């Protein structure tokens, strides 16, 4: 049997995330898939040494809202106090809650200067599943183009973590929670891509 062509070899250099500040902006549509993808991305960020208080999580209703949210998060407008990875993985997914009202110990608010430091990368996570209308095509096109625009305008890497799936099963498999084939969690790849791009952009200046 021949080797598969489609793969994702990690760059041999191990990038150090210990000084990086990364935001995850995620939609809430198709929540079970989103939760697994976000957890996968956070896992990789942590493995690369990114500190919990430097992982900022922001939520929006659907994928269509991702580009504006990424733009504003990069501009520093909505990096919320206390929004940290600890919240998410501790089981308190603060989706939709005004986090600044309930700062979490060790969150961004507790770190002097943390909120004024620029972000090194943003991971935009959404899950679009095709329905019976043209809605899917319109959103997929506009969101992917807008995320590219945000990235180029800001000069900050925006990782494209939007699944555009034809079936629910495709989405589950790409989040590592497929019903028949478990699949690989693409959120992990997006975490690695964020670390690599953030590190490269720092070097490039």
Write out the catalytic residue numbers: 135
* Residue 65 in contact with ligand DLZ, rule: CB under 6 A: yes
* Residue 124 in contact with ligand DLZ, rule: CB under 6 A: no
- The piece of 24-32, 38-46, 112-120, 192-200 that touches ligand DLZ (CB under 6 A) is 24-32
- The piece of 62-70, 104-112, 153-161, 176-184 that touches ligand DLZ (CB under 6 A) is 62-70
Which parts of 107-155 are beta strand (E)?
121-129
* Residue 29 in contact with ligand DLZ, rule: CB under 6 A: yes
* Residue 62 in contact with ligand DLZ, rule: CB under 6 A: yes
Hey, what's the torsion of the CAs at 58, 91, 37, 51, to 10 degrees? 70
The span from the CA of 15 to the CA of 80, in Å, is 27
* Residue 169 in contact with ligand DLZ, rule: CB under 6 A: no
Cα–Cα separations (whole angstroms), residue 91 to 80, 87, 95: 18, 7, 11
Binding-site member from 20, 23, 27, 119 for ligand DLZ (CB under 6 A): 27
The span from the CA of 197 to the CA of 17, in Å, is 11
| Sheet hosting strand 121-129, strand order edge to edge | 55-60, 22-27, 121-129, 158-165
Residues that bind ligand DLZ (CB under 6 A): 27, 29-30, 61-65, 126-129, 131, 135, 139
């Amino acid at each position: 049997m021949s080797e598969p062509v489609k793969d994702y070899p990690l760059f041999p250099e191990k990038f150090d995330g210990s000084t990086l500040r990364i935001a995850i902006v995620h939609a809430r549509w198709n929540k079970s898939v989103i939760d697994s993808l976000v957890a996968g991305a956070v896992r990789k960020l942590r493995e690369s040494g990114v500190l919990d208080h430097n992982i900022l999580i922001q939520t929006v209703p659907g994928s269509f809202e991702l580009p504006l949210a990424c733009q504003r998060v990069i501009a520093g407008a909505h990096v919320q106090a206390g929004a940290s990875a600890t919240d998410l993985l501790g089981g308190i997914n603060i989706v939709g809650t005004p986090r600044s009202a309930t700062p979490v110990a060790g969150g961004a608010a507790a770190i002097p200067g943390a909120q004024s430091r620029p972000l090194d990368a943003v991971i935009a996570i959404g899950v679009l599943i095709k329905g019976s209308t043209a809605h899917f095509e319109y959103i997929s096109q506009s969101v992917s183009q807008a995320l590219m625009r945000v990235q180029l305008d800001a000069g900050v890497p925006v990782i494209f973590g939007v699944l555009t799936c034809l079936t629910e099963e495709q989405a589950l498999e790409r989040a590592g929670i497929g019903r028949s084939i478990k699949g690989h969690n693409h959120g992990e790849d997006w975490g690695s891509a964020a670390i690599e791009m953030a590190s490269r952009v720092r070097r490039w200046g």
